[in-house]
A and B are shown apart, each in its own frame.
Chain A
């Protein structure tokens, strides 16, 4: 267990050392949101209707941005081979990497999302639900994304391929997260949607590491 945590911290340190790796996703969030009113016009009602979807789509794309590097660096310099041979199960290694990825993409997005919500005139009733949906949903994005990164490891044109594989799998999360926020905005209960999201989280934590580890073993053979 502590070995996994050590790996998690190590990965985080690596991310923070190359500071520019963190700025790019954050800058992307703000820029993407800026594009929306520029593209559809600044009318507050329209933006408010688009806000939950646009925020979550931005979160999706931002997660994708950072996924390439998840296993690539370790794969290229041989670290992944060593990790696979370590006594720590590969599934746990996957979880550690997913956690590190989330801390550097999902968590910053959660921090900046309220500001983006204000820019998009998001319903004031929706902000809490927005944050909760991000808290539950972005780790699932990282998990599914990690599977995509693992299965495309060693493939040609891995980056574009990754998006093609992972976006269809993101559809349920997008649907339930945005409907949760929308429900809150209308004064309805967002609990059922959030509970469903939580079930994706639970299922993902159990199943994704096995799939990703199998894919990693395939890439390392």
Chain B
């Protein structure tokens, strides 16, 4: 079978071919991630000022906010991939959803715990029903639901398809959930002076934040490419096992 005749995207459903492609991309994204992380941590922990209201605890923002942003971007990417998988029926698209999900869940969890650690000194409680945190918690359960569903089927393809439909329903519902939680929060809690998104962004604070967001993003790209190759291999392994069993 010559590779020249296979449409471009379908070629990369082959784990070996995908591995070669990602092998060329990975060093760049991994390197970028390491550099951005190092720079980001330097500026976040050393070379940026404390906040006049929140003191040094504002440094938690430099992990909480990037984690929050990633948790939402990853879900959006999952939804886009799910739609692509349903429309074009391409294996890479469905597997991307599965590859990205645990990473998105981890970012969401990180956002929740960092938010909790930030909230305790600021608001005096380990958990506050802040609109952002509550929405993140619901998003965390959307991730968990996907992860549970996709592995609950004996036929992996069925699981992938069910998961894709779930993610699409979830992404439509997500803005509604956020809107309703936001509205619920203003109904039940007085406006607070300190918001979770941090004080007015001073340039000296914007820099570490941007660096950390870049670090998180490139890290995600690196790991998701690895996970995607891993999922392709798992599929190939199942195929080999079935073939061996048939004989």
Task: Consider the complex of A and B and state whether they touch directly, i.e. have CB atoms less than 8 Å apart.
Answer: yes
Q: A152-B149, A215-B162 are in contact. Are A175 and B183 (CB under 8 A)?
A: yes
Interface size counted on chain B using CB atoms at 8 A: 30
B206 at the interface (CB under 8 A from A): no
Cβ of B72 to closest chain A Cβ, rounded Å: 15
Question: B153 touching A211 by the CB < 8 A rule?
Answer: no
Cβ of A111 to closest chain B Cβ, rounded Å: 27
Question: A156 touching B166 by the CB < 8 A rule?
Answer: no
Which A residues have a C-beta under 8 Å from some C-beta of B?
Answer: 147, 151-152, 154-158, 161, 164-165, 167-169, 171-172, 175-176, 179, 200, 207, 211, 214-215, 218-219, 221
Chain A's closest residue to B140 (CB) is A168
A-B contacts besides A171-B138, A175-B184, A207-B172, 7 pairs, CB < 8 Å: A151-B165, A154-B153, A157-B152, A164-B148, A165-B148, A172-B176, A175-B181
Question: A168 touching B152 by the CB < 8 A rule?
Answer: no
Q: Most A CB atoms within 10 A — which of B141, B149, B170?
A: B149
B177 at the interface (CB under 8 A from A): yes
Chain B residues lying within 8 Å of A215, measured Cβ to Cβ, are 162, 165
Which secondary structure dominates chain A's binding surface? helix
Question: B184 touching A165 by the CB < 8 A rule?
Answer: no
Question: A168 touching B165 by the CB < 8 A rule?
Answer: no
Question: A155 touching B169 by the CB < 8 A rule?
Answer: no
Contact of B138 among A165, A168, A207 (CB under 8 A): A168
Which B residues have a C-beta under 8 Å from some C-beta of A?
Answer: 86, 138, 141-142, 144-145, 148-149, 152-154, 158-159, 161-162, 165-166, 168-170, 172-173, 176-177, 179-181, 183-184, 187
Question: A218 touching B172 by the CB < 8 A rule?
Answer: no
Question: B153 touching A156 by the CB < 8 A rule?
Answer: yes
20 residue pairs of the A-B complex, CB under 8 angstroms, read A155-B149, A155-B152, A158-B152, A161-B148, A164-B141, A164-B148, A165-B166, A169-B169, A169-B173, A171-B180, A172-B173, A172-B177, A175-B181, A175-B183, A179-B184, A200-B176, A207-B172, A211-B168, A218-B162, A218-B165
Which secondary structure dominates chain B's binding surface? helix
CA distance A147 to B172 in the complex (A): 14
CA distance A120 to B49 in the complex (A): 53
Chain B residues lying within 8 Å of A151, measured Cβ to Cβ, are 149, 162, 165-166
Cβ of A172 to closest chain B Cβ, rounded Å: 4
Cβ of B158 to closest chain A Cβ, rounded Å: 6
Contact of A175 among B141, B153, B161, B180 (CB under 8 A): B180
CA distance A147 to B173 in the complex (A): 13
Chain A's closest residue to B86 (CB) is A214
Question: B181 touching A161 by the CB < 8 A rule?
Answer: no
Chain A residues lying within 8 Å of B181, measured Cβ to Cβ, are 171, 175
CA distance A152 to B152 in the complex (A): 8
CA distance A151 to B187 in the complex (A): 34
Question: B149 touching A161 by the CB < 8 A rule?
Answer: yes
Question: A147 touching B180 by the CB < 8 A rule?
Answer: no
Cβ of A74 to closest chain B Cβ, rounded Å: 18
Chain A's closest residue to B143 (CB) is A168
CA distance A151 to B158 in the complex (A): 10
